[in-house]
Structure 1
Amino acid sequence: MKRDSRLSSVLHALMHMADQDRPMTSEALAQCMGTNPVVVRRTMGLLRECGIVTSSRGHDGGWRIAVDLSAVSLHQLHEALGEPAIFAIGNRSDTPECLVEQAVNAALDDAFAEAEALLLERFRKITLADLAMEFTERFDVLRNRGNRT
């Protein structure tokens, strides 16, 4: 089953953008993310509609974060992407006639709903600023390892 990696990709792109003092082109972001510039433009367009990023054309154009990093949660980004399915697993049939499968679906549906609510609540608590801080800490550790020779 194919997993939806758009949230992870968007977070990757936004962290690269946050680390720059100038706009980043779709081509540069695509290179960072290992994807096509068209995919970047389509995805960033969703974030632009929500006011999270801006874009400009021309020689010095590109994508830029339009909000304070602490003001954007993973939940907001998940919503901006159209609330893709959280889980890649699901029921064999949505409307089974078999009573056994109905019981199985009821149990799975309850578990999925509970797990999704828990995950989305966690997404509300994690901001882009949290991710940027985590990146900075990891970068500092790596840099300090190199200075110990």
Structure 2
Amino acid sequence: MKRDSRLSGVLHVLLHLAEASGPVTSEAMAKAMQTNPVVIRRLMAGLREAGFVHSEKGHGGGWAIARDLASVSLRDVYDALGAPELFALGHRTEAPGCLVEQAVNAALDDALRDAETLLLDRFGAVTLAALSVDFHARMVASGKSIDLETVHAG
């Protein structure tokens, strides 16, 4: 089953941007994320529309965080991505004639709706600032310093 990892990737990029001392180019982010700069530019354009990042043109330009990390929740980023499906589970048949399958579908609908509400509430309670604090604690514990240019080097 293919997983949608955009939320994880976007959060990763945003936290790296927050650590940068200045704007970061799409090329540098693409290298770190092991993808194409075009993918990064497309992703960043959506984040710019949501007001999370801004871009600076010219020499020394690139992408930078546009909002305070405490003001952006995982839910905000999830919504900016277009609120992708959270679960891969679904019905065998959407409009079954079988009463057993109708009962199964109703139970699944209730459980998935409850799980989605709980997950989205949790996303709303976690900010980028909280992720940054966790990252910094991990960095201190590891004894490593983090540099976007070298942190993901194999």
TM-score under structure 2 length normalisation: 0.89
Deviation, 1:97, is 2.4
Deviation, 1:64, is 0.5
Q: 1:117-132 maps to which residues of 2 (within 5 A)?
A: 117-132=117-132
Correspondence for 2:32: 32
Correspondence for 1:147: none
Q: 1:64-83 maps to which residues of 2 (within 5 A)?
A: 64-83=64-83
Helix, strand or coil: the match of 1:138?
Answer: helix
Correspondence for 1:97: 97
Residue type of the alignment partner of 1:85: E
Q: Distance in 2 between matches of 1:40 and 1:114?
A: 34
Q: Distance in 1 between matches of 2:84 and 2:94?
A: 18
Unpaired runs of at least 5, structure 2: 145-154
Q: Distance in 2 between matches of 1:93 and 1:37?
A: 41
Moved over 6 A (4+): none
Query: How many residue pairs end up in the alignment?
Result: 144
Correspondence for 2:6: 6
CA RMSD of aligned residues (A): 1.2
Q: Distance in 1 between matches of 2:119 and 2:24?
A: 31
Q: Distance in 2 between matches of 1:36 and 1:91?
A: 36
After the TM superposition, which of the residue ranges 90-99 and 130-139 deviates more from structure 2?
90-99
Of the two structures, which has the highest relative contact order with CA contacts closer than 8 Å and spacing of 6 or more?
2
Residue type of the alignment partner of 1:24: V
Cα distance per residue 1:108-135 (max 9 Å; x no partner): 1111000000000000110000000000
Residue type of the alignment partner of 1:138: R
Residues 13 and 32 of structure 1 are in contact (CA less than 8 Å); yes or no, is this contact kept in structure 2? no
Q: Distance in 2 between matches of 1:40 and 1:111?
A: 35
Q: Distance in 2 between matches of 1:59 and 1:87?
A: 43
Q: Distance in 1 between matches of 2:98 and 2:38?
A: 45
Unpaired runs of at least 5, structure 1: 145-149
Residue type of the alignment partner of 1:41: R
Residue type of the alignment partner of 2:108: L
Identity, % of aligned positions: 58
